Amino acid sequence: MMTGNLITPKTKELILIYLAGRKEGYAREIANYYKMSLSPVQNQLEHLENSGIIYGKHSGKTIIYRFNQRYPYYKELIKLLEKVLLFLPESEKVKLLVTRKTTKKKR
């Protein structure tokens, strides 16, 4: 684990790293990125939201998650995650930090 045992379970840690790198994300996008099942990602997103660490905003049927800047330890958490991002392998950093937005082709 990138943070040792500081953030458990592993799925929660990966979600936080993803959101730190991309600034936002939705459950299926995060699950696909890490090649994980959707259910554990949804469960951890719900835990994080219930804890006040992140919040979700509906965009159609999708819930987009972002960090809650009102969370009491927001600044400290972001600093920790930024350090984690620094130690990621370069290929992982590039993959994570490049936001991929697809556009629908007009017919």
CATH label of the domain that carries residue 50: 1.10.10.10
Global confidence as pTM: 0.84
Burial (0-12, 13-18, 19+ Cβ within 10 Å), 27: buried
Q: Is residue 31 part of a domain?
A: yes
Q: Per-residue confidence of the chain (107 residues) as pLDDT tens digits?
A: 455 555 558 899 999 999 999 999 999 999 999 999 999 999 999 999 999 999 999 999 999 999 999 999 999 999 999 999 999 999 898 888 876 655 445 55
How many domains are there within the chain? 1
Domain assignment present for residue 65? The answer is yes
Spatial contact of 7 and 16, defined as CB atoms under 8 Å apart: yes
Whether 100 is in a domain gets the answer: no
Residue 1 lies in a domain: no
Using alpha carbons, list the distances in angstroms from residue 16 to 59, 60, 102, 104: 20, 23, 23, 28
pLDDT value at position 103? 47
pLDDT at 9: 82
